[in-house]
Chains A and B, each alone.
Chain A
Amino acid sequence: MQIPSVTGFNAMGLNLDKEGFLRELADWNNEVAQILASNEGIDLTDDHWEIINLVRDYYQQHQISPVTRVLVKATREQLGDTKGSSIHLMQLFSGKPTKLVSKIAGLPKPANCD
């Protein structure tokens, strides 16, 4: 597990804040996503990538990251009923889908409410 250093540059050369979010969203790419995920103890599989791509597309289209219930609905519409469930998303993203998907997908850090 990569621990971000005090300066925010961790061992992989990523510029992260103390909570492990990218400081510059433009730094994001597929390799960066792998590192961000492994910092959270997650090995990215095709199932993860489906969600990451879906959320990035959603952000691109609507300029917001979907809240969990909307993410579940969008996943169900695009990937079917089995994957479009909060249980599937919770399992993939350590029980914190909204926060971790935003982090790994390189989207804005969510405010600490809801």
Chain B
Amino acid sequence: MKFAIAVYGAPYSHQAPLSAFYFAKAVLDQGHEIYRVFFYHDGVYNGNEAIAPPQDEPDIRQMWSSLAADNQIELIICIASALRRGMLDRTEADRYEKSNANLDKAFTISGLGQLIDAGLNADRLVTFGA
């Protein structure tokens, strides 16, 4: 089965990202497919390259990044949510004349249409932090 995952919660503030991550792992371990992971609302903070958690806590940004690389999964950050919250790749930082781009390279900024597309084309859309 093809699963899409939507993450609405911020890391280290909310359980949603970790639950979403372990759900994604379980989906893959059982031989299913992940169509896309879409980060919306405060979920966009998951892509913050500058996240530096204490060493005895999980590094959620790193966990997403490895999961995506190992399984060729798209990690999509909603552009409208990202701009409001200051999560920018180089292109958007330049467009808005900000000095820092802070989006981890494992994540891609795109439109909200990607969430709708995930809902329409995956067999299940599972939301964390709604």
Contact = CB atoms under 8 A, between A and B. Distances in A.
A113 B112 CA distance: 8
If over half of B's interface residues share one DSSP class (helix, strand or loop), that class is named, otherwise mixed; here it is: helix
B113 A17 contact: no
Contacts of A113: 79-80, 110-113
A114 B80 CA distance: 11
Interface string A88-114: 000000000000000000000001111
A114 B83 CA distance: 15
Interface size class of B (residues with CB under 8 A): 10 to 19
Q: Place the interface of chain A in its size category.
A: under 10
Nearest to B91: A112
Contacts, number: 22
A113 B108 CA distance: 12
A31 interface: no
B113 A114 contact: yes
Interface string A1-40: 0000000000000000111000000000000000000000
Nearest to A8: B97
A86 to B, nearest CB: 18
Interface of A: 17-19, 111-114
21 contacts: A17-B96, A17-B97, A18-B94, A18-B95, A18-B97, A19-B95, A111-B79, A111-B80, A111-B83, A111-B111, A112-B91, A112-B92, A112-B95, A113-B79, A113-B80, A113-B110, A113-B111, A113-B112, A113-B113, A114-B111, A114-B113
